[in-house]
Chains A and B, each alone.
Chain A
Amino acid sequence: MMSGLDLHCQLILEQYREALPVIEKLKQVVLDALRSALERNGIVVTAVEARIKTEESLAGKLALKGNKYQSLSDITDILGARIITFYTDDVDRIAAIVEQMFSIDWDNSVDKRRLHDLDQFGYNSLHYICRLPDGSPQFAEYPQITRIPFELQLRTTLQHAWAAINHDTGYKTGVEIPVEYMRQMNRLAGMLELADDEFSRIRTEINDYRRRVQMLVHDGKLDDVLLDGDTFRSYLNARPFDALNKRIAAINQAEVQPVSLLNYLAIFKAFGFKTLGDIDRMRKQYQEDAYRLARHQLGNTDLDIVSSSIGLQNICIVCILQQGGGKIGLRRLFDAINGESPQNEMLADITFEQARQLPFMRQQ
């Protein structure tokens, strides 16, 4: 392999071998910097990866166009890093972040997404040629690290899939691909571009919807918000049962253990609730009797620990009993909260008897 290279190219290969420990360090620095920047900005991606060009691959490149390079630092892809995103919007967002993190060689960077003519589809990716910024004190041990360029590719998962398959089919056999197959590949690139745009559009619309729901919850316009998993979560974020839980906890100076209330969504659906307004009306209507039930149950015990579901659970119990659901309704509630069990029938009986001594049941 080496024997075919002229002296100039062999010199570059020698530079490569000497620089390898620094390139290894650069790879780790770049990966760490990218991962922490993504985390800081709350961007979830499919992958952050990097590879160092092998000596064999570099020798192959030099054999083809070695005279193009004066030295190793002219070869911009000795280190290649790649971020694969879920959404096409994130490519641009990450690009803006990367521009702040590294020195970008704009002359050699290329946005391949913009290179296609209007009627062309194919490889889509944003390629930046970068260097670590000069003067970073943490690299004192590796002063040459900021002189080594590296290539950073930004692309979506679908763009990556297309590029990887295109590379595989194009290079595997060494036989030139007939035009009809290239046309089919490019047709797929167009379709994936459309899919990428659709995924981004759907994400934007979902985020808009969530913001609208949060606004309605914030403004108390709960009758305008249809009940579903997302909206119920937004409602719970406003911590509507905290005040009742605190009152109940105060009965025995108990601590309150947090627990998710999302499993109550199925119960509200079974109640026939359509909007968050239905839940909030129930909360307001039954919270006083829910507190009385807790006081009746806990008051003569020394139980000083409760879960944050206690308020809502008791509201549901009172609601069922006031609506005439009786023991069967209570049993269904306990089955829904924690799975079906024959003991839930006994539990429904006990709870019913306890509640019967309270004013709201005597009024029935």
Chain B
Amino acid sequence: METTIQRADNQLVALFSGRLDTAAAQQTIQDVQPLLEAANTEIILDCKDLEYISSSGLRIFLTIRKEAASKGSKVIVRNISADIRQVFVMTGFISLFEIQ
């Protein structure tokens, strides 16, 4: 599992690649630290190369969303596969995130 953070003007893009499962969660939460600290920023969670997401991964997304809301930032989930979109539907997370 790899997480790359890219910075643009008023935007932070996290590119997730691989399987975001319990084993990868600990490293991933460290990797997304810049997102948790960003204020008044548009945060893009780009899931183009994300193959799988577990509950641990959903919790990381949720943590990013909560921190963003408290700091005036906005989170957009982008490029999720049909499988991961289905996870978002099954759990009701489709109502929690703006998905593009």
Residues of chain A at the chain B interface (Cβ within 8 Å): 254, 257, 259, 261, 263, 294, 297-298, 301-310, 313, 334, 337-339, 341, 343, 346-347, 350-351
Q: How far is the CB of A304 from chain B (nearest CB, A)?
A: 5
Given A310-B92, A334-B94, verify A339-B100 contact (CB < 8 Å). yes
Prevailing SS type, chain B contact patch: helix
Q: Kindly state whether residue B39 has any CB partner on chain A within 8 Å.
A: no
Kindly state the separation between the CA atoms of A89 and B85 in the bound complex, as whole angstroms. 51
Inter-chain residue pair count (beta carbon < 8 A): 73
Inter-chain contact B94/A306, CB cutoff 8 Å: no
Inter-chain contact A298/B96, CB cutoff 8 Å: no
Inter-chain contact B99/A305, CB cutoff 8 Å: no
Q: Kindly state whether residue B1 has any CB partner on chain A within 8 Å.
A: no
Inter-chain contact A307/B100, CB cutoff 8 Å: no
Inter-chain contact A338/B94, CB cutoff 8 Å: yes
Inter-chain contact B95/A334, CB cutoff 8 Å: no
Inter-chain contact B90/A343, CB cutoff 8 Å: no
Q: Kindly state whether residue B23 has any CB partner on chain A within 8 Å.
A: no
Prevailing SS type, chain A contact patch: mixed
Inter-chain contact B99/A306, CB cutoff 8 Å: no
Kindly state the separation between the CA atoms of A334 and B88 in the bound complex, as whole angstroms. 11
Kindly state the separation between the CA atoms of A350 and B59 in the bound complex, as whole angstroms. 24
Inter-chain contact A302/B95, CB cutoff 8 Å: no
Kindly state the separation between the CA atoms of A77 and B68 in the bound complex, as whole angstroms. 46
State which size class the interface on B falls in: 20 to 34
Kindly state the separation between the CA atoms of A163 and B86 in the bound complex, as whole angstroms. 61
Q: How far is the CB of B51 from chain A (nearest CB, A)?
A: 16
Chain A neighbourhood of B97, CB < 8 A: 338
Kindly state the separation between the CA atoms of A294 and B89 in the bound complex, as whole angstroms. 10
Kindly state the separation between the CA atoms of A124 and B55 in the bound complex, as whole angstroms. 61
Chain B neighbourhood of A259, CB < 8 A: 92, 95-96
Chosen A-B contacts, 27 in total, with CB atoms closer than 8 Å, are: A257-B96, A259-B92, A259-B96, A294-B90, A303-B55, A303-B87, A303-B91, A304-B55, A305-B58, A305-B59, A305-B62, A306-B93, A307-B92, A307-B96, A308-B92, A309-B94, A309-B96, A310-B91, A337-B94, A337-B95, A338-B94, A338-B95, A338-B99, A339-B98, A346-B85, A350-B82, A351-B86
Q: Kindly state whether residue B54 has any CB partner on chain A within 8 Å.
A: yes
- Looking at B54, B80, B92, the one whose CB has the most chain A CB atoms below 10 A away is B92
Chain A neighbourhood of B62, CB < 8 A: 257, 305
Chain A neighbourhood of B85, CB < 8 A: 343, 346-347
Inter-chain contact A306/B92, CB cutoff 8 Å: yes
Kindly state the separation between the CA atoms of A118 and B89 in the bound complex, as whole angstroms. 65
Kindly state the separation between the CA atoms of A259 and B97 in the bound complex, as whole angstroms. 10
| Minimal Cβ-Cβ distance residue in A for B99 | A338
Chain A neighbourhood of B55, CB < 8 A: 254, 302-305
Q: How far is the CB of B21 from chain A (nearest CB, A)?
A: 10
Kindly state the separation between the CA atoms of A341 and B93 in the bound complex, as whole angstroms. 16
Interface string of B55-76 (1 = CB under 8 A from A): 1001100100000000000000
